[in-house]
Amino acid sequence: MSVDLQSLEQEARAAIGAAADSRALDDVRVRYLGRKGALQDLMARIPTLPLEERRTFGAAVNGLKKILEEAIQERGRAFEAQGGGGKAFDVTLPGQQPFVGRRHPLMQVEQEICAIFGRLGFKVFRGPEVETEFHNFEALNIPLEHPSRDAFDTFYIESSDKTSHARRLLRSHTSPSQIRALKQCPPPMAVVVPGRVYRPDAVDASHSFMFHQVEGLAVDRDIRFSDLKGVLIAFAREMFGAKVRLRFRPSFFPFTEPSAEVDVSCFICGAEGCAVCKQTGWLEILGCGMVHPHVLRSAGVDPSVWRGFAFGMGVERITMLKVGIDDIRLFFENDLRLLEQF
Ligand code: DAH
């Protein structure tokens, strides 16, 4: 056999010694010990040797393999000890700024809303986005054929079972969680329910097929409309500033009686009249009312013992008002130039 293992060893040791960093060392390892490396090449020749040479030659190649593996490991450890894998490290270079993420503005506002109600004694409750037709409509006193259902119509999920307890849909408001919250936390109770809702609306500057709401519900023995007013005034002052005033306008929702829509005095122009409040001095922010007895009954709560108030507000609308964004689509485009401002 004409291969000179000794000079191969010398050559490999020189290459290991000359490797300037761990990457160069790895190249040397591949060159000698890799699958297509010099030693593998020698191993492949063993079966072609005369029988008497095979054993000694095989043992010699294996011995060399071990020697080189150890030498490479040792050199590698030396690089590690130097730190940085032996790569040159210029301490005068400016540092790299790590990218710091943050909560989406909508989630910041949602969190702020929940925190304010948290201080008023409300717990956070979460209901499913895929709801039953029963929870989204019937339990909330919205009968199958009632015209008010149009306003809350939504995306349905295909199912062969057409009963309202089985049929599923994407919830069109957070109100169905009132029923779930009442079943899970028997009164006296007070919860806020933040989350996504869906409607088959054409997308434009003020509409989106998906948006966020925060629902509120408080049920106790002697809850009155004045409690609702007090809680919402406390909320609005914290959210929009101590000077804001609220206006309750009579309205209709199937799940509350009486019902009201609430406006906050325009905190952008100080109720003087501006483009955002359309010169009215008022901004509509939520719907509310006293919980309809049908809703309590749907959740197994006796309306002759318990009463409650409820409210629901849109997180996009409140965020847009607070930060002065006039197009809802901006929230969902994920453009960092916008998101980084909050
Ligand atoms: N669910 C209503 C909507 O999506 C908002 C709402 C109004 C919720 C009045 C309430 C309420 O709890 O009492 O438009």
pLDDT in tens, 274-291: 888 899 999 999 999 999
Q: How many Å apart are CA 192 and CA 123, to the nearest integer?
A: 6
Q: How many Å apart are CA 211 and CA 43, to the nearest integer?
A: 67
Does residue 215 line the site of ligand 1, with CB under 6 A? yes
Does residue 308 line the site of ligand 1, with CB under 6 A? no
More reliable by pLDDT, 163 or 291: 291
Per the CB < 8 A criterion, the answer to whether 179 and 140 are in contact is: yes
pLDDT in tens, 97-149: 888 889 999 999 999 999 999 999 999 999 999 999 999 999 999 988 888 78
Residue 220 C-alpha to ligand 1 middle, in angstroms?
Answer: 19
pLDDT in tens, 49-84: 888 888 888 888 899 999 999 999 988 888 887 765
What is the per-residue pLDDT for 83? 67
Ligand 1 atom having least distance to the Cα of 256: 13
* The amino acid at 172: S
Does residue 311 line the site of ligand 1, with CB under 6 A? yes
Q: Label residue 174 by pLDDT band (50, 70, 90).
A: very high
Does residue 141 line the site of ligand 1, with CB under 6 A? no
What is the per-residue pLDDT for 84? 54
Angle at 57 between CA 55 and CA 61, to 5 degrees: 120
Q: How many Å apart are CA 217 and CA 121, to the nearest integer?
A: 11
Q: How many Å apart are CA 189 and CA 179, to the nearest integer?
A: 12
Q: Whose CA is nearest to atom 4 of ligand 1?
A: 173
Tokens of 181: 């919250």
Q: Whose CA is nearest to atom 6 of ligand 1?
A: 312
pLDDT in tens, 1-40: 456 888 888 999 899 988 888 888 989 999 999 999 888 8
SS (H, E, C) 193-213: EEEEEECCCCCECCECCEEEE
pLDDT in tens, 292-324: 999 999 999 999 999 999 999 999 999 999 888
Report the residue among 253, 296, 313 best suited for mutation to probe ligand 1: largest number of ligand atoms under 8 A from its CB.
253
Does residue 175 line the site of ligand 1, with CB under 6 A? yes
pLDDT in tens, 188-241: 999 999 999 999 999 999 899 999 999 999 999 999 999 999 999 999 999 999
